[in-house]
Amino acid sequence: MGQLFAKLLSIFGSREHKVIIIGLDNAGKTTILYQFLMNEVVHTSPTIGSNVEEIILHKTHFLMWDIGGQENMRSTWNTYYSNTEFVILVIDSTDRERLTVTKEELYKMLAHEDLCNAAVLIFANKQDVKNSMSTSEISKFLTLSSIRDHPWHIQGCCALTGEGSVCHSYISYGPGAAESFPSRTGVSNANEYGGDTLH
């Protein structure tokens, strides 16, 4: 997953950049974080509080904050928003019952003033599981097409294998660059891990 940042180098220079990884508990956030760091699966326990890891790539520093998604933790998410340039929202594609909760948290987050310039990358995780929701289903339920103030991308993936989790073509545009995104329509099929939809 480290390739996710490859194209950032020509845009961001050497200063530090903050990325937060959020989502409900058991979505796969910590697994995705360590795929970024080591490109391998690390057995994890539910995150209590937060994890932070630094990635240094060609003198460019990225701080990756993995924030716990338990119900009692969600009210604290906004304490991590300051100076965030990218939000990675991880969704358990098999968790149909709590997609309403995810939607509520997503729009609460997007309305926060500290994230007014942040870009959003949504990983629809666990695409290897039978009967998981497709990115089209998730996008429609979350009404992602209504989001106008933030550049966003939804991508089907499997955190355990790393499939579908390299989206450097999205993040390379940088936060606040929605007007520069290619004009594309539709949402990538969750079962096609290389699918690419930019907004």
Residue 99 annotated as binding site: no
Eight-state DSSP code of residue 163: B
Active-site choice (3, 35, 70, 155): 70
Residue 127 annotated as binding site: yes
Q: Which residues pair with 120 in a beta bridge?
A: 87, 152
User: 146: which residues sit within 8 A by CB, 6+ positions away?
Assistant: none
Strands 50-57 and 60-67, sheet pairing: antiparallel
Residue 31 annotated as binding site: no
Residue 174 annotated as binding site: no
35 is an active site residue: no
Residue 106 annotated as binding site: no
Residue 159 annotated as binding site: no
Residue 24 annotated as binding site: yes
What are the angstrom distances between the C-alpha of 10 and each of 5, 6, 19, 53, 57?
Answer: 10, 9, 18, 22, 12
State the binding site for Mg(2+).
Answer: 30, 47
Which residues are catalytic, by number?
70
State the binding site.
Answer: 23-30, 47, 69, 125-128
State the binding site for GTP.
Answer: 23-30, 69, 125-128
